[in-house]
Structure 1
Amino acid sequence: MTLRKWFHLFWTTLLLGGAAGGITGILLSAADKEFAILGVSGMGYNVMWMIIGGATISVLSQMGFFAYLIVRFIVMGIIRNKWTWDFLQILFVLIALFDLVYLRYTNFAQGETIWGYMVLPLIMLIVALATAYWKAKLTNKNGFVPTLFFMLAVTSMEAVPALKLNSSASTLYMLIPLIVCNAWQILILHKILADKKEPA
């Protein structure tokens, strides 16, 4: 990857993160009057901080993406069998789904049933499957499992600060820009590398 291509990926992801953070923040503010970034009540000032927050989340997303690419490169050098690597990624996806339900339920539930804690993981799974299907269509079928793993397991790890809070607004504010940025990066990677057959 050349410096010019990396700049393109960085700035487009940053802009998407800022836009996603701003839009998500405005929608959350409209739904919940108490939702504010840094406790600021002025709408214009608050929107500015929402955009900055979304851009900051996009940088976290980019760090996670490059960490994933490095780990993937190292692991594929160690595990030569593609089937084994795919199996491990699917196993990590299942563990991430279980943790998203069980750990949040055991930490935050106060008389509620576990079903309410399955909504977020289910939505994340649907988005991850849709992104993986799209990636496979853009490249080839070998891109499906790595994309599913990245969109679910890696996104879950990146979102840990928000998932530790028992706040739907905070979780959504962090997760939506993360998902948008992660999907953008994984879907555009083959074009950035100019190799349509290279799965990410």
Structure 2
Amino acid sequence: MTLRKWFHLFWTTLLLGIVVSTVIGLILQLSDKDFSVMGLSGYGFNLLIMILGGGIISLLSQMGFFAYLIVRFIAIGIIRSKTVWELLQLAVVIVVMFDLVYLRKNGSGSLSSYFITPIIILIIAVGIGYWKVKLTNRNAFIPTLFFMTVVTVLEAVPALQEDNAATTLFMFAPLIVCNAWQILTLHKILENKKS
């Protein structure tokens, strides 16, 4: 990966995070009629916060992506069997999806409401995984599924701690878009063109 390719990935991911968080933030702000800052409508102030928040979320996504690539490289070096590595990734996906329901469940509310987020994440991850397979090869499905579920959930822990639907949506939407963009463009960035 050259520095120019990394800059392209960095800036496009940053732009995607800013755009998605701004759109989601404006939708959330317009849907809440009681929204105000010190009794005044704070659209301009909140727009700036949404832009900055989207930039920070996209940077978090990029850190998670490169951390995943490093951990994957080390794990493949330690665990020589491809089958064992894939089964381990699938096991971690199952544990994270279970924990996303079970650990977030507090005394109030029904348990079924806590299944919504993991099911949506899993559906999106499977879709992105199939898309990655079409772009590359069938060996890309499990790593993509792992990245889109486990890494996205780990990156979204601050929003999950709030246990607020608007906060969760505001953080998950840019994270999922940024993570999907990075994993789907990785093969294009790393391809070696022979002259």
TM (norm. structure 1) is: 0.91
Q: Over aligned residue pairs, what C-alpha RMSD do you find?
A: 1.8
Q: Does 1:48 align with 2:48?
A: yes
Q: 1:7-34: CA deviations, max 9, x gaps? A: 0000000000000110010111122235
What is aligned with 2:124?
127
Give SS of 2:171's match.
Answer: helix
**What are the residue-to-residue correspondences of 1:52-63 with 2, within 5 Å?**
52-63=52-63
Q: Does 1:168 align with 2:169?
A: no
**Contact (CA 8 Å) 2:36, 2:42: kept in 1 or not?**
no
What is aligned with 1:150?
147
- CA drift at 1:36: 7.3
What is aligned with 1:138?
135
- Tell me the matched-pair count: 192
**Contact (CA 8 Å) 2:13, 2:182: kept in 1 or not?**
yes
- CA distance in structure 2 between the partners assigned to 1:83 and 1:51 by the alignment: 42
**Contact (CA 8 Å) 1:96, 1:153: kept in 2 or not?**
yes
Q: 1:84-120: CA deviations, max 9, x gaps? A: 0000000010011001100111xx341x221111011
**What are the residue-to-residue correspondences of 1:78-93 with 2, within 5 Å?**
78-93=78-93
What is aligned with 2:33?
33
Q: 1:29-77: CA deviations, max 9, x gaps? A: 122235679x984212211210111111000000000000000000000
Distance 1:35 1:88, change over 3 A: farther
What is aligned with 1:77?
77
Distance 1:165 1:89, change over 3 A: same
Identity %: 59
TM (norm. structure 2) is: 0.94
- CA distance in structure 2 between the partners assigned to 1:46 and 1:32 by the alignment: 13
- CA distance in structure 2 between the partners assigned to 1:145 and 1:34 by the alignment: 44
What is aligned with 1:178?
175
> Which sections of structure 2, spanning at least 5 residues, go unmatched?
none
- CA distance in structure 1 between the partners assigned to 2:18 and 2:36 by the alignment: 16
Distance 1:25 1:86, change over 3 A: same
- CA distance in structure 2 between the partners assigned to 1:98 and 1:193 by the alignment: 34
Distance 1:138 1:19, change over 3 A: same
Give SS of 1:26's match.
Answer: helix
**Contact (CA 8 Å) 1:35, 1:169: kept in 2 or not?**
no
Distance 1:133 1:55, change over 3 A: same
- CA distance in structure 2 between the partners assigned to 1:191 and 1:36 by the alignment: 45
- CA distance in structure 2 between the partners assigned to 1:152 and 1:125 by the alignment: 7
Question: AA paired with 2:75?
Answer: V
- CA distance in structure 1 between the partners assigned to 2:150 and 2:192 by the alignment: 25
Q: 1:165-189: CA deviations, max 9, x gaps? A: 1211111111110000000000000
> Which sections of structure 1, spanning at least 5 residues, go unmatched?
none
Q: 1:113-144: CA deviations, max 9, x gaps? A: 21111011000000000000000110000000
- CA distance in structure 2 between the partners assigned to 1:185 and 1:40 by the alignment: 39
Distance 1:25 1:145, change over 3 A: same
